[in-house]
């Protein structure tokens, strides 16, 4: 009987030590990160979108990783005028800045990622570029999300767009 208890205790201790090296035994090991956003458009200076990084574990449990992940922003496409979108970094957050809590904001002078293919009286907006955002934690990178940037004003109805870029938040 004593031998059985001793073997069971040793087995339980070995199992605990093995599991401790693979992540929290209650939730398992991080397998992937899912990144989502409250909106895909940032309207004007200070326009914001909340990013949420969710860790997916071997036990099928999920856990919010905001505040733990590192965000990377990469420009994709062109500006309204056909030029390159501004590069961003933690030290140079031109156009888009992402805080450690996942709040993405448009930073002045933001660069429009829409082009008016219509007329000044009847705008027809086409997305020409966006900012790709990914989250990384423990060498695991999330799916990308894309943020487009438009002016807060958009086109004043029913007249010309007056230099504004992109559709108004209500016209999508």
pLDDT tens digits, one per residue of 104-139: 988 877 777 888 788 777 778 888 888 899 999 999
Q: What is the pLDDT of residue 27?
A: 80
pLDDT score of 172: 45
Give the range among 41-50, 57-66, 136-145 with minimum mean pLDDT: 41-50
Q: What confidence tens digit (pLDDT) does each residue in 17-44 have?
A: 444 434 456 788 999 999 999 888 888 7
Nearest to 56 by CA among 26, 23, 24, 34: 34
**What per-residue confidence (pLDDT) applies to 29?**
93
Longest dimension (CA), the chain: 90
Task: Output the six-digit token pair for 150.
Answer: 């438009």
What value does the mean pLDDT take over residues 73-97? 75
Residue ranges of domains in the chain, CATH in brackets? 29-150 (2.60.40)
pLDDT higher than threshold 80 for residue 151: no
Cβ atoms of residues 115 and 126 within 8 Å: yes
pLDDT at residue 11 in the model: 58
Task: For residue 71, give both structure tokens.
Answer: 């965000």
Amino acid 61: pLDDT:
93
Prediction pTM value? 0.74
What's the whole-number average pLDDT of the chain? Answer: 78
Task: Flag whether pLDDT at 10 surpasses 60.
Answer: no
CB 70 within 8 A of CB 54: no
What is the predicted pLDDT for the residue at 14? 53
Percent of the chain past pLDDT 90, that is, above it, reads 31
Cβ atoms within 10 Å, residue 135: 27
Nearest CA among 142, 145, 134 for reference residue 31? 142
Distance, C-alpha 142 to centroid of its chain: 9
Read off the pLDDT of residues 158-172 as tens digits, 9 standing for 90 and up. 444 556 677 776 544
Token reading at 86: 């501004």
Angle at 32 between CA 93 and CA 107, to 5 degrees: 15
């Amino acid at each position: 009987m004593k031998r059985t208890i001793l073997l069971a205790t040793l087995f339980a201790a070995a199992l605990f030590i093995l599991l401790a090296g693979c992540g929290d035994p209650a939730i398992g090991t991080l397998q992937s990160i899912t990144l989502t956003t409250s909106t895909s458009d940032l309207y004007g200076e200070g326009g914001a979108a909340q990013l949420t990084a969710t860790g997916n574990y071997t036990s099928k449990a999920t856990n919010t990783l905001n505040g733990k992940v590192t965000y990377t922003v990469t420009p994709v496409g062109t500006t309204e005028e056909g030029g390159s979108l501004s590069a961003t970094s933690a030290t140079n957050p031109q156009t888009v800045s992402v805080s450690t809590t996942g709040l993405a904001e448009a930073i002045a002078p933001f660069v429009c990622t829409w082009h008016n293919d219509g007329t000044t009286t009847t705008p027809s907006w086409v997305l020409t570029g966006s900012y790709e955002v990914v989250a990384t934690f423990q060498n695991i990178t999330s799916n990308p999300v894309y943020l487009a940037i438009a002016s807060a004003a958009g086109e004043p109805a029913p007249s010309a767009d007056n230099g504004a870029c992109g559709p108004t938040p209500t016209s999508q």
